[in-house]
């Protein structure tokens, strides 16, 4: 086991929030690169990006594990976080086949509320009031952006059509919350590298099994696709998700989840810069509402519950 740690984080709160903000920008680029992969299965995309990230972190992971003398039992929360991440990718991406993008974005964006609810009701972790209000305000911004494209008319029963897609996206939000909260538990004793390596590897195994079970093609036939898969691995996964896992230790899972709500706005800005697509008025106004909610949660943080720090 690693040696005991002090009881508070030594990273300034303002610096940590800035780093997580950068992570959310990297994570939001995933929507851009996936648009260049229309012929690649969602399960294959999830497997390749998590497997690639695990390969990148493996040398540092192996060295730290040997130096600290950790047993595989010490990684139990990381393994469970990886399973939750795989389920998040699988349910959310699959939801896009049944429901509209707007519906999917709205329902998966409920993950901050799941984080807050699980923290308060199950884990008994206190969440300051301004973070709860900030989350609600940010969700209003998401609804405002997507409102004109929302469609709740179900074609078929509860387990078919749009209703099924909405339920899958909602499940994606739930599993995203579980992923962050399990990461918080793992980061009490593990460094970022140790945690994310096992998390990404576990997610890759689950997604690979799902891909094999559903008989989807894993490797894309086009050589050009690997360029965008490489960008998916490096930017939103090695960059964005790794920073999120770093951030749950320093600013808490609720705030990290809230920063994830910036992704629709950041994706629109990246689409403007990279693809030349315009940014609509609703995106600008909704983005302002989301930023207002984040400002309330971040700049009036109240008393934050400290978590035992890890290496980094």
Contact 19, 240 (CB under 8 A): no
Q: What is the pLDDT of residue 37?
A: 87
Q: What is the pLDDT of residue 120?
A: 92
Ranges of residues in the chain with a pLDDT under 50 are: 1-8, 301-310
Contact 52, 231 (CB under 8 A): no
All structural domains of the chain with their residue ranges? 13-299
Q: What is the pLDDT of residue 56?
A: 98
pTM assigned to the model = 0.86
What is the DSSP code string of the chain? -PPP--SS--S-HHHHHHHHHHHHHHHHTHHHHHTT-TTS-HHHHHHHHHHHHHHHHHHHHHHHHHHHT--GGGGHHHHHHHHHHHHHHHHHHHHTTTS-HHHHHHHHTTHHHHHHHHHHHTS-----HHHHHHHHHHHHHHHHHHGGG-----SSSTTSHHHHHHHHHHHHHHHHHHHHHHHHHHTTTS-HHHHHHHHHHHHHHHHHHHHHHTT---S-S-HHHHHHHHHHIIIIIIIIIHHHHHHHHHT-HHHHHHHHTTHHHHHHHHIIIII-----HHHHHHHHHHHHHHHHHHHS--SPPP------
Q: What is the pLDDT of residue 165?
A: 85
Furthest-apart CA atoms within the chain: distance in Å:
57
CA distance 242 to 264: 19
Task: Give me 14's structure tokens.
Answer: 């303002």
Q: What is the pLDDT of residue 312?
A: 62
Q: What is the pLDDT of residue 229?
A: 95
Task: Give me 44's structure tokens.
Answer: 């294959």
Crossing angle of the two packed helices 253-260 and 129-146, in degrees rounded to 10: 20
């Amino acid at each position: 086991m690693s040696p005991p740690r002090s009881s508070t984080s030594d990273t300034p709160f303002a610096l940590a929030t800035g780093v997580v903000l950068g992570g959310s920008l990297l994570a939001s680029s995933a929507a851009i690169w996936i648009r260049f992969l229309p012929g690649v299965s969602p399960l294959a995309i999830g497997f390749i990006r998590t497997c690639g990230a695990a390969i990148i972190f493996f040398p540092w992971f192996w060295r730290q594990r040997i130096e600290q003398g950790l047993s595989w039992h010490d990684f139990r929360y990381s393994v469970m976080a990886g399973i939750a991440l795989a389920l998040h990718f699988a349910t959310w991406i699959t939801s896009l086949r049944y429901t509209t993008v707007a519906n999917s974005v709205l329902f998966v964006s409920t993950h901050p509320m799941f984080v807050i609810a699980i923290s308060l009701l199950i884990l008994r972790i206190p969440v300051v009031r301004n973070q709860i209000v900030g989350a609600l305000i940010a969700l209003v911004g998401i609804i405002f952006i997507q409102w004109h494209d929302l469609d709740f008319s179900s074609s078929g029963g509860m387990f078919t059509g749009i209703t099924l897609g909405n339920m899958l996206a909602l499940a994606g939000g739930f599993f995203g919350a579980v992923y962050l909260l399990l990461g918080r538990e793992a980061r009490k004793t593990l460094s970022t590298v140790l945690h994310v390596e096992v998390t990404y590897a576990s997610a890759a195994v689950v997604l690979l099994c799902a891909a094999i079970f559903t008989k989807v093609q894993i490797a894309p036939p086009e050589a050009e696709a690997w360029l965008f898969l490489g960008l998916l691995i490096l930017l939103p996964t090695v960059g964005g998700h790794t920073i999120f896992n770093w951030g749950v230790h320093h600013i808490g899972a609720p705030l990290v989840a809230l920063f994830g709500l910036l992704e629709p706005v950041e994706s629109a800005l990246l689409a403007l810069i990279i693809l030349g697509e315009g940014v609509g008025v609703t995106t600008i106004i909704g983005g302002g509402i989301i930023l207002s909610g984040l400002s309330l949660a971040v700049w009036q943080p109240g008393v934050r519950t400290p978590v035992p720090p890890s290496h980094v």
